[in-house]
């Protein structure tokens, strides 16, 4: 098994304190979580920011503040911002966020971008111009077909090839399984730079399977709050620690 990159996704766009009291919403909570998860072994952070009501936000000012604070408190932890619409933002607003924040790394959903085919090329061109690495969010093989089409037409550049495979959704009783990865890898057999996240109590089992296949891993409360037996993780750092322990056991 290779040594994968571990990214923590500590909050997401939809969950709140009612889902788990340790879910970080404010900037001080995000900073504290980032420090704890980095100390536990996570090399990267998938960043969502919230507004004053706790609602998902793509506000450029909030992003710039968070990125500045994270660069100061965890300077060796790489940070990726999300452009997730979450039913709130349109493509023009997602593009404006990227242009105003100018991040070094961003996750972009192919299906969301193509809600506005006229603006989609500007999204990827803007990232190329500002030197922002793109990670394409792929929920199923239909999304892979969309990405393949965008790459064939040159809208997505050859060096914009990093992808995140998503197993499952926010839904009651969702349980992702390691075999759910197979259709993604079958549809993109030559993929080199890929990461996996998985919803539900088998999150860590799915991630360990991905590591064996050569993938990188995204773990955290955005996707799962509980252990394999359904017990809540104490916090995001505990989930990172548990995953790393599982990976080490499988290497030995």
Q: What is the pTM of this model?
A: 0.96
The answer as to whether 1 is a domain residue is: no
Closest CA relative to residue 235, chosen from 244, 226, 247? 226
Give the pLDDT confidence score for residue 161 in this predicted structure.
Answer: 96
pLDDT at 173: 66
Percent of the chain with pLDDT over 70: 98
The pLDDT of 215-244, averaged and rounded, is: 97
Nearest to 202, CA basis, from 219, 184, 187: 219
pLDDT average, residue stretch 153-164: 97
Residue 1 has pLDDT above 80, yes or no: no
Structurally, how many domains does the chain consist of? Answer: 1
**Residue 38's domain spans which residues?**
6-251
pLDDT at 120 over 70: yes
Give the CATH number, domain containing residue 198: 3.20.20.70
Residue 172 confidence (pLDDT): 64
Task: Give me the pLDDT at residue 170, please.
Answer: 62
Q: What is the pLDDT of residue 232?
A: 97
Query: Is 153 part of a structural domain of the chain?
Result: yes
- Return the residue matching tokens 């593009």: 95
Going by pLDDT thresholds of 50, 70 and 90, the confidence category of residue 169 is confident
Q: For residue 76, which phi and psi values (nearest 5 degrees)?
A: -100, 10
Q: Is residue 32 part of a domain?
A: yes
Indicate whether 47 belongs to any domain. yes
Local confidence band at 171 (pLDDT 50, 70, 90 cut-offs): low
Mean local confidence (pLDDT), 180-186: 96
Cα separation, 123 vs 24, whole angstroms: 29
Q: Is 160 helix (H, G, I), strand (E, B) or coil?
A: coil
- Going by C-alpha positions, the residue among 164, 168, 143 that lies closest to residue 223 is 168
Least confident of 61-65, 132-136, 175-179: 175-179
């Amino acid at each position: 098994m290779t040594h994968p990159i571990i990214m923590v996704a500590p909050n997401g766009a939809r969950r709140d304190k009612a889902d788990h009291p340790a879910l970080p919403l404010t900037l001080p909570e995000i900073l504290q979580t980032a420090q704890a998860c980095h100390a536990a072994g996570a090399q990267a952070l998938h960043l969502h920011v919230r507004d004053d009501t706790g609602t998902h936000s793509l506000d450029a000012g909030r992003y710039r503040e968070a990125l500045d604070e994270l660069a100061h408190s965890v300077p060796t932890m790489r940070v990726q911002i999300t452009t997730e619409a979450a039913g709130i933002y349109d493509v023009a607003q997602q593009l404006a966020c990227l242009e105003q924040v100018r991040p070094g790394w961003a996750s972009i959903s192919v299906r969301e971008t193509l809600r506005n085919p006229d603006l989609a090329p500007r999204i990827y061109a803007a990232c190329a111009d500002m030197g922002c690495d793109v990670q394409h969010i792929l929920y199923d093989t239909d999304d892979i077909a969309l990405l393949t089409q965008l790459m064939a037409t040159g809208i997505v550049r050859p060096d914009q090839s990093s992808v995140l495979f998503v197993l499952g959704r926010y839904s009651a009783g969702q349980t992702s399984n390691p075999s759910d990865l197979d259709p993604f890898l079958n549809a993109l057999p030559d993929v080199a730079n890929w990461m996996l996240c998985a919803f539900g109590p088998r999150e860590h089992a799915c991630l360990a399977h991905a590591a064996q296949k050569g993938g990188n891993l995204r773990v955290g409360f955005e996707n799962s709050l509980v252990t394999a037996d359904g017990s809540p993780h104490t916090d995001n750092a505990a989930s990172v620690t548990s995953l790393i322990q599982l990976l080490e056991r499988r290497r030995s």
